Amino acid sequence: MDRLRWVLAAAVSAYACHLAVHHTTPIDRALPLLGVLATVLAAVTYPAVMLAVPVLILAEIAVPAEEVRLLAFGVIFAIGLIGPIGPIGRIGRIGLAIVLVVLLRWIPLDSVLWGRELFLLAIAVLIVLVLGSTRFAVAVAVITALITPAVPLRTLALPLVVLFVCVAARVFGMPKIELRWVSSIALAFVTLFFAWSGIVARAFPYFWRRAARPMPRVEIAQALPPRADVTFEVPPNAHALIVSGANVARLRRGTPLARVGDAVVRIGDAADWGYMRREQFYASRNPLPRDAAGQIRGYGYAAWVDGAGRIALPAGARSVRVVVDASLPAGAALQVEGFEIAPR
C-alpha cells in the first residue's frame, strides 16, 4: 500500500511538473523527470524531501532568468541531499545512487545512450553494494558514473576498474567507510550544478572558480594558421584578447600556441574550442584554460564550455601583434575571437 502511494505520488508529481513547464531548455522540459526523481529521493530518504516538488514548480514559474532558475533547481536537489543526512537503509542508498546517476547523466533525455547508461547504472549499484551501502559508497558510485564519458565505448572500462578495485579492497579487509559529511557535501556539489553536469564531469574546476561578470566584446572572429602574423588595433577600454584553438585538442598543457604582444600563449591559457564536447573529450589532452572565457553551451550531461581563454593586454596598448606558433600541426589554427571590453 505504501509503495502504491509513492507510485501515485510520483505520477502526480510528474503530471504537476508537466503542467508547470514554461521555459524551453532541456532541463525545464525534463521537469517531470525531476519531479519523479525528487519523489523517489523522498521515498528512499525522508518523506519531507518531497517538498522539493512544489519548490521545483515554484522555481520554474517564479525565476525567469534561465541560469539562475537552473541553479535554483540544483540548490533544491542539493538541499534535498544535505537535509536527510541521518541514517537511511541499504535500499535508500541504492535508490539515492540511482536518482543521482539519472539526474546527472540522463538529461537531456534525447542524448541518452540507453544501453550504456543502463550498464553504468548497474555498475553504480554494484559499487554501492560492494562498498557496504554507505554514503561514501554512493559518492564513489555517483562520481565514477559522472566522470565516465561512455563515448567511446571503451571508456566504460573506467567504472569496471573502480568496481574491481572496490571488490579487491573489500576482499582484503577494507572496512565500511561512511564519511557522511564529506560524501554528502561532494554529492551536493555535483548536484548543485546538475544542469551543467557535463561541465562538472569534464572540467571540474570550472564551477569552483569565481565567475567573471559578462562583459561586452568587440568581435574579430579570425582563424589564423601557423606562422600567421597579424596586428590588431585595440579598441578603447579593451582589457583582454579572447582566443581559442582549432584542431589542437591533442596538444598537451604548455604547448605554445602563439605570441600575443610579448606574452606566449600556451595550451592552458587557451584550449581547443570544442575539446570539452562529450564526443571529443576522451581524445583531448587540453586542460581547462586558466582564465576561461568560453561560454557555457548545452545542458545537463551534454553541457560544455568552449576552450576560449582570456589573454590580458598590456595597459594602454593601442595595438597588439599576434604571431601564431610555427610548430602547430597542419590544419591547426589560433582563433582570435575578439577583444573584451572592461566596464567603465
By CB under 8 A, name the binding residues for other proteins: 5-6, 8-9, 12-13, 15-20, 22, 35, 42, 47-48, 50-51, 53-55, 57-58, 61-62, 64-65, 67-68, 71, 75, 78, 82, 85, 181, 184-185, 188-189, 192, 207-214
Residue 132 DSSP class: T
Of 55 and 166, nearer to other proteins (C-beta) is: 55
- Our CB check for other proteins shows the closer of 83 and 226 to be 83
Rounded distance, CA 183 to CA 138, Å? Answer: 8
Tell me how far apart the alpha carbons of residues 176 and 192 are, in angstroms, rounded to a whole number: 27
Nearer to other proteins, 19 or 168 (CB): 19
Strands 229-233 vs 319-324: parallel, antiparallel or unpaired: antiparallel
Give min distance, CB of 9 to other proteins, in A.
Answer: 5
User: Could you tell me the CA-to-CA distances from 102 to 40, 261, 307 in Å, in that order?
Assistant: 11, 47, 27
Q: In whole angstroms, how close is the CB of 192 to other proteins at the nearest point? A: 7
CA distance linking residue 150 with residue 186, whole number of Å: 22
Shortest reach from residue 341's CB to other proteins, in Å: 15
Kindly provide the residue ranges of all beta strands, DSSP E only, lying in the chain, ordered along the sequence.
217-224, 229-233, 238-246, 256-260, 263-266, 296-297, 304-305, 309-312, 319-324, 333-341
The nearer residue to other proteins, 64 or 175, going by C-beta atoms, is 64
**Neighbouring C-alpha atoms within 13 Å toward the C-beta of 91:** 5
Report, in Å, the least distance between residue 24 CB and other proteins: 15
CA-CA distance, 249 to 252, in Å (whole number)?
Answer: 8
Q: Which one, 85 or 160, has the nearer CB to other proteins?
A: 85
Give the shortest CB-271-to-other proteins separation in angstroms.
18
| Comparison of 154 and 213: residue with beta carbon closer to other proteins | 213
Instruction: Tell the smallest beta-carbon distance from residue 178 to other proteins (Å).
Output: 13
